[in-house]
Structure 1
Amino acid sequence: MMKAIDLFSGAGGFSTGAEAAGIQVVQSANHWDLACEFYALNHPGNEPFCQDLQQADWSLFPSHDIGLASPCCQGHSIARGTDRPHHDIQRNTAWAVVGCAEYHREDAWLVENVTEFLNWTLYPSWLDAMKRLGYSMAEYTIDAADHSVPQHRKRAFLVFTRSKNPIELKLPERQHVPVHSVIDWDGFKWSKVYKPGRSPATIARIENGRRRFGHTFAAPYYSNGSGKTGRCINRPLGTVTTVDRWAVVRGDEMRMLQPSELKRVMGFPDDYILPNTRREAIKLLGNAVCPPVVTDLINAIKVAA
């Protein structure tokens, strides 16, 4: 069985997808103690290294064939808002991949990030460092919805292999899954749309959505993206973020989507354990990699390698 490590493992989406593809994840690592706690609960026997990976001792990581990594995306994402000094530090986390690859010389690496990562000023230098270690790189921009995840979530996936030329992957073409299929319509409390204290902007968005989609639809709880018009529930949801964003409207009632539903929107199994605190659960999910995408990618790498 091929072995992998998972850097910046977060909630464990990369590992979950890799394991579904028959890969044994022998070590994970992340700087956030909460993520490490829940990774360990969901992946018994794999206790994450909880540390800043820019200062990691790579000799402590066991032998493996594949490196999986999802370096911090906040310094690259257009959703970050006004730039802040800590974004420089977050962007630098990608260099941990180079450090690990220099020590272990894995057969392959699979690196995920937001698509803006490809516009990083130091991206050419980072890529050159991997090439100097003997890797060829194939770049893919993948929408999770194309892998039967009920969410439109475009991410860059970089496939590094120790081959003369980049490998060409033949990824499966899967049907889109509508978000209505993963919503628990009767399991949670709803509130009236028109109630005292409801924001006029929220009311306006709901009325716009109702004119466009009828009485039942999804809508983000602020005006970005689909926020002014709502979103049809017969298609995948928009991107799940680290903050509480998505609501569903049904007639004269509405409610926020719950972590158990967002877990399905991300492609995690129903029995995956999340924090009881809503804010922490959604932050973990919003930072995660969608497992079904990883499974399809690794299976395609196996065929092409």
Structure 2
Amino acid sequence: MRAIDLFAGAGGFSTGAAMAGCQVVWAGNHWQAAVDAHAINHPGTLHACQDLQQQDWTQVPQHDLLLASPACQGHSPARGKEKAHHDALRSTAWAVVSAAECHRPAVFVVENVPAFAAWTLYPAWCAAMNALGYALAPMVLDAADHGVPQHRLRLFIVGTRSAHPITLDLPRAAMATAADVIDFSAGRWSAIDKPGRSCNTLARIAAGRLRHGHRFVAPYYGSGSGETGRSLHRPLGTITTRDRWSVIDGDRMRMLTAEECRAAMGFPAGYHLPADHKTAVHMLGNAVCPPQARDLIHALRAAA
């Protein structure tokens, strides 16, 4: 099966497709750093650094499977209500329609945050795909159900050129945990009680110690385990585009390393990341978890 990857980013969709035995023949993204990282990890793929809303789809190789992760920032509840400056981000989803119209692949899979389905133009987007002959099967999946050590709810929309939406039999893997990815001998640690440490941070850590003992993880901002921390014996919460999860070990703490974030996303251990920590974490936080993509594609093949 030949696949293309739109908004390929760090390459989670491409990596999952390769795990499922697909040949990823083309990948496109607007960010040169992401294209460079993708090219190192997928040297046999043609690459384009391009605003995909301006892409000439006739120049893209023929394929059976279209994979796409259009920008989610304009849909995420964390960004608040729809705002004008998010219009350009939300509109990236229309590039998927243009690509599908040009090539009419047998199957497409689009990934986004669940709030994508609440977008004002989501019904129109679905209608456009229906007009191209696709039956749509939207599903919200948790990466933790695919053996990824992270709870990450994402909407996957599977489009097939069939009379009715496809039904997939997705496996449920054994749960992986935060303990599976955290290396207590790695990273840059600092004292918890150092001068200047936020009172809120100290309060969260104190509550976490009462609940979990001397080793646990806690979010450094936002909701989700914010007041109590999280046991190492359960998956992490969502990996985001900036450092979020702190590791607590006795009287010291640090943020997750880029390598730990990579493992928490389900990427292979040897997968190349940019040397800059901030850039690597940003790419990983925007990525698709490869095992999730792998399982979806395997299920698509089984249902075909």
Instruction: Output the TM-score relative to the length of structure 2.
Output: 0.98
Give the letter for the 1:219 counterpart. A
Distance 1:14 1:74 in 2: 18
Distance 2:246 2:154 in 1: 23
Paired residue secondary structure (1:225): coil
Distance 1:156 1:17 in 2: 16
Poorly superposed stretches of 4+, deviation over 4 Å? 81-84
Unaligned runs of 5+ in 2: none
Distance 2:257 2:232 in 1: 16
Distance 1:45 1:235 in 2: 37
Please tell me whether the aligned partners of residues 202 and 222 of structure 1 are also in contact (alpha carbons under 8 angstroms): no
Unaligned runs of 5+ in 1: none
Please tell me whether the aligned partners of residues 112 and 157 of structure 1 are also in contact (alpha carbons under 8 angstroms): yes
Paired residue secondary structure (1:36): helix
Q: State the partner residue of 2:19.
A: 20
1:290 aligns with 2:289: yes
Q: State the partner residue of 1:39.
A: 38
Residue 163 of structure 1, CA deviation = 0.6
Paired residue secondary structure (2:3): strand
Structure 1 vs Structure 2 CA RMSD: 1.1
Residue 83 of structure 1, CA deviation = 5.2
Distance 2:180 2:141 in 1: 22
Q: State the partner residue of 1:71.
A: 70
1:79-116 deviation line (CA, Å, top 9, x unaligned): 22475433111000000111111110100001100000
1:198-219 deviation line (CA, Å, top 9, x unaligned): 1111101100111111111100
Comparing 181-190 with 120-129, greater Cα deviation is found at 181-190
Please tell me whether the aligned partners of residues 95 and 126 of structure 1 are also in contact (alpha carbons under 8 angstroms): yes
Distance 1:12 1:222 in 2: 26
Q: State the partner residue of 1:159.
A: 158
**% identical equivalent positions:** 57
Comparing 61-70 with 188-197, greater Cα deviation is found at 188-197
1:134-159 deviation line (CA, Å, top 9, x unaligned): 01011111000000000000000011
Residue 47 of structure 1, CA deviation = 3.6
Residue 251 of structure 1, CA deviation = 1.1
Distance 1:213 1:57 in 2: 54
Q: Give the alignment of 1:1-305 within 5 angstroms.
A: 2-81=1-80, 84-305=83-304
